[in-house]
Amino acid sequence: MRYALGVEYDGSDFHGWQRLTAREDDAETGALGADGAPLRPGTVPNLQATLERALATVADHPVSTVCAGRTDAGVHAECQVVHFDTDARRDPRGWVLGTTSRLPPAMRVRWCAPVPDDFDARFSARARRYRYRLLNHQVRPALGRQWLAWEKRPLDADAMHRAARQLLGERDFTSFRTVHCQAAHARRELQRLDVRREGDTVVFEVQANAFLHHQVRNMVGSLLEVGAGERPEAWIADVLEARDRTLAGPTGPAQGLVFVGPLYPREWPLPEEVLFDA
């Protein structure tokens, strides 16, 4: 039997989504805990292994999961979607409550749905959505700091929104992916990139068919150069066409980024929050 789960998490104290090797688990990560102190080597869990351990306890056998989109260290998720296979007989409510009871407070299972065996959390998704929020103020945030990046330079959100229009469509995003990105190619379809101001907070809403490693954070970092008046709006198009990461802006901090969730065609029996009309 195959099940899909919607999983919510605060990624502050996790070494990203992907299950690590033993050597990587013991490596120095540079991650910071919720109190701002560096986490010691060997103390940084990853989200996939944490979820799989909880599921295995409920299933009474080892469980392997596949996710819709791997998130980096410090990145959060409103509704990460995963699938797993099991012969264990549990109703969806049992999977939700049983698994969540065995997860740390920073994670919970939002819902569980039985799905056909050909459903794949990664390959069945047609789009992924992210939200990036930063406090635009002279003083760094205190409350909610794990959810907010910070930029003290005054920002023109309208200029960033106009500049972002130049990135929409199917493009080669080589200039906005990390050198460690393992994707076979850099072509992605950017379907949405809206920038708006809400008081002292600037919000970026991003949607694409798929994303490259650090793509959202790198696009945000470049748009901040425009918003701060350091670069003209047309510079974004020049960076895109150059296909050279060294010409783009810095990578935005991880803590401002939330994976809102993937989107699937309505043929799949999933909750409304992850469905769209194809």
Active centre residues (catalytic): 72
What is the CB neighbour count within 10 angstroms for residue 219?
Answer: 30
Q: Which two tokens stand for residue 226?
A: 């425009």
Task: Write out the H or E segment, with its range, that includes residue 76.
Answer: strand 76-85
Residue 240 CA neighbour count, 13 Å, CB half: 22
What are the C-alpha distances in Å from 161 to residues 25, 204, 215, 227?
39, 9, 17, 9
Residues sharing a CB contact under 8 Å with residue 40, sequence separation 6 or more, in sequence order: none
**Alpha-carbon span 54 to 133, nearest angstrom:** 31
